[in-house]
Structure 1
Amino acid sequence: MYSVNSVKEIQDLNPFIVVGCGGGGEKFSNLEGVEAVGFIDDDERKQGKQFCGHIISDSLDKCLAQTSAKSLVIMLPIGAEGTALKYAVQAIDSGLNVVTSFRSLSVTDNPSLIKFAENKNVVIKEISPRLDVVEKFAGIAPEKSCEILPKISYTPRAPVIFVGGTSQECGKRTTTKKLGIAAMERGLTPAIISTDEMGLEEPTDFNFRAGSLSAMDVPAAILAAIKYVEEEKSPDIIFIEGQSSLTEKGNPHPRGLSAAILIGAAPDAVIVGHRPNHPYREPRGIDEEIKAIESLEPTKVVGLSINLRNAELDVDVDYFESQFDLPVEDVYTNGASKLLDAILDYLEE
């Protein structure tokens, strides 16, 4: 009833004042048949600057005095629900129609706004995630959007190392743990973040299942985890366990998760794990994974962790070093000291 299904449903609400001068605000103002006559943003760095042909204001009252707007659209990010609610109430009280987005302020979660709008004889609508459409073609969908974490900006003080792999079950968790042990043996203070519910072994600092989050939330969760562990522990180096692979053929569904963790980590260096002759997966291989990682993020793969258990192939560490010209270690047999050397040497460069 309150969800926008087509741009035609909001064209008769023109002209609009847009709250939120970011990607959402620009997208809305560029919709066919939409007339945006004013823009508001609480960020003082944006106020007074031009945006989509208008000067960004700091208040709704000023925009109302300078325009003939009939409606307000709220295009704020997750985490700004308080600000969105403030503008919605102010707009409805001023006799404006309101269009919001599920990221800014869910109409269905705020029934009092619906009653308020009805009492003021104005329209309130929501640009929803259209999960009804997902349910139509997939047969099932969550009741509401899974994207809930606010986005953060943070620059780590310690170097961040991402442990990726060519497939699932190739040794990423063990490699991350062994790197932490090797760092402690050198007198360093490592932080080990596991992104899997099975990351229960010491010296892992904490674990969470990144796959339980939306792909949009995973980078924010990784960055928030880095910030948290630096505030709690002040580590010298941070190791982050990846999930799945960017290139595995046998199970493509988690590839987006692997990319999201890598993007959130924004690592200074990467170790790639590989399991030769994997009995359950179809990895494209080390070359393809390295290309994918270094294409997705401005980082460098500096070493390989090889899981030779049940390999049933005539290969060893020396074989992989000659093939890929990188330091290689079987962490199950020898630990990760050699890989840590490769990381530290690269960071010194």
Structure 2
Amino acid sequence: MKIIKKTALVYCENQFGLVDGKTAAGLVRHSELYTIVGVIDSSLAGKDAEEELGGEKSGIPIFSNLEEALSKLAEIPNCYIYGKAPLDACLSPEERFLILQAMEKGMDIINGLHQFFSEDREFVDKAAQHNIQIKDIRKPPQLSDLHVFTGKISEVNIPVIAVLGTDCACGKMTTAIELNKSLNNLGIKSVLVATGQTSLMQGAMYGVSIDALISQFVIGEIENSVIQAFEHENPDIILVEGQSAVSHPAFMSSLGILKGSMPDGIILQHPPGRKFRCDFPHLIMPTIESEIQLIEAISQTSVMAIALSHEDLENAEVLNFIEEYEKQFQLPTTDVLQYGCQKLVQTLSQHFPKLKQKIMRNKLEKMPALSMR
């Protein structure tokens, strides 16, 4: 069934292209649910959103405010998306005012914060007044619909690959999405299991925002999401989006992903140019070596490839890190936004022969038949 995309304006004041603007950046790069028609960030007004992220010009303008956006767009967008992911996760009075304005214009509100707009009396009354919807992406299922771990994950007999990282907001989701697209383009049926609000906004069919769950249900919800994807989609491979880092002192999410999905392999995402952990300027970044040791010490899986974020790096520096890490760790290393997913696909093919056989078979089927003479 073809999804009819809704048009959306993304709010990301003073954060687009930065760590706390990862939701907006993710939606500009990829969305199966929304056609992004603009971004609000007065610090970058007049620029092209995709170009600002280091890509090619996309025609998605950045506006200084809501008023300018609505005056320049051909029509009022269907949705207003709160596209920031701040650590404190609370609205400012100015942001609250803009959301009320967007409601008055008839725009549905898509919210990725822990602060649930659908439980805010003023927002609820305004939504009813203007006949619009509020969607809280991080709002967990009802208690009766949550799952605890069952062990049924052992029945999943296809590769499950988790894309973990050495920190928050370092490109795990982007690598998972790009790899998922590359595999499907090669005729490999790959399904992405989401574990955060951005990938759910982008259109992932399976998964839950695990940082909004009661801790007792995190592992079970991840297991259940993988099982549902396996049973309903009959895929060749399942990719699981990572969150935070196993070594991060502030978050437990990666441990839940390791336990719940019981992956057959790990792709480890790392930003070599980052010296301190995201949002924690006094916490020094871990090394790739220490993260690999930790992951492999507490799970029955191994790291099979490294993916890099080119944050704060020149192209030559990225290439130097790729060469250095491949030599040091004997693991294929790449930056999927700059160099694509070929190395990752090759690695998966080498580890899982059935994937390699299907890729080769699909390539042969697409080759033109030779005429007989």
TM-score range (shorter-chain normalised) is 0.5 to 0.7
Which blocks of at least 5 consecutive residues in structure 2 are unaligned?
1-142, 278-283, 355-373
Counterparts in 2 of 1:109-188, with a 5 A limit?
A: 149-154=147-152, 155-188=155-188
Q: Which residue of 2 aligns with 1:129?
A: none
Specify the alignment match of 2:270 in structure 1.
Answer: 274
Alpha-carbon displacement from aligned partner over 1:16-62 (angstroms, at most 9, x marks no partner) = xxxxxxxxxxxxxxxxxxxxxxxxxxxxxxxxxxxxxxxxxxxxxxx
Task: Tell me if 1:323 matches 2:328.
Answer: yes
Residue 180 of structure 2 contacts residue 192 of structure 2 at CA under 8 Å; is this kept in 1?
yes
The 1-side partners of 2:230 and 2:146 are apart by 23
CA 1:258 to 1:328, structure 2 compared with 1: closer, same or farther past 3 Å?
same
Identity of aligned residues (%): 28
Residue-by-residue CA offset, 1:59-105 (whole Å, 9 max, x unaligned): xxxxxxxxxxxxxxxxxxxxxxxxxxxxxxxxxxxxxxxxxxxxxxx
Letter aligned with residue 170 of structure 2? C
Tell me the SS of whatever aligns to 2:211.
Answer: helix
Question: Corresponding residue for 1:123?
Answer: none
Provide the residue aligned with 2:291 in structure 1. 289
CA contact 1:278–1:311 (8 Å) conserved in 2: no
Residue 146 to residue 292, structure 1, CA distance change in 2 (3 Å):
farther
**1:146 Cα deviation (Å)?**
12
Corresponding residue of 1:341: 346
What does residue range 1-349 of structure 1 map to in structure 2 within 5 Å?
A: 149-154=147-152, 155-200=155-200, 204-248=204-248, 252-254=249-251, 256-278=252-274, 281=277, 282-311=284-313, 314=317, 315-348=320-353
Provide the TM-score with structure 1 as the length reference: 0.53
| 1:323 Cα offset (Å) | 2.3
Is this contact kept in 2: 1:215–1:257, CA < 8 A? Answer: no
Q: Distance in 2 between matches of 1:274 and 1:302?
A: 14
Q: Which amino acid aligns with 1:164?
A: L
Aligned residue for 2:269, secondary structure, equals strand
Q: How many residues align?
A: 201
Which structure has the larger Rg? 1
Asked if the contact 1:199–1:207 (Cα under 8 Å) also holds between the matched residues in 2, the reply is no
Q: Which amino acid aligns with 1:291?
A: Q
Q: In the alignment, is the contact (CA less than 8 A) between 2:207 and 2:222 conserved in 1?
A: no
* Change over 3 Å in CA distance of 1:279–1:169 after alignment to 2: farther
How far did 1:194 drift?
A: 1.3
Q: Secondary structure of 1:216's partner? A: helix
Amino acid at match of 2:256: A
Structure 1 runs not aligned, ≥5 long: 1-144
Superimposed CA distance per residue, residues 199-245 of structure 1 (whole angstroms, 9 cap, x where no aligned partner)? 14767333421111133311111110011112221110000011100
SS at match of 1:316: helix
Change (3 A) 1:198 1:232: same
Say which structure is richer in helix. Answer: 2
Q: Give a deviation string over 1:157-206, Cα, whole Å, max 9, x none.
A: 32100110011111100111011012112211001011000114767333
Query: In angstroms, what is the RMSD of aligned CA positions?
Result: 2.5
CA distance in 2, matches of 1:146, 1:322: 50
Q: How much does 1:274 deviate? A: 0.1
Distance 1:177 1:238 in 2: 12
Native 8 Å contact 2:160 2:240 kept in 1 = yes
- 1:236 and 1:208 mapped to 2: Cα distance? 21
- Kept in 1, the 8 Å contact 2:272–2:321? The answer is no
Letter in 2 for 1:174: T
Give the superposition deviation at 1:334: 1.8
Give the letter aligned to residue 337 of structure 2: Y
Tell me the TM-score normalised to structure 2 length: 0.50
Distance, in Å, in 1 between the alignment partners of 2:306 and 2:168 is: 15
Contact kept, 8 Å, 1:180 with 1:203, in 2: the verdict is no
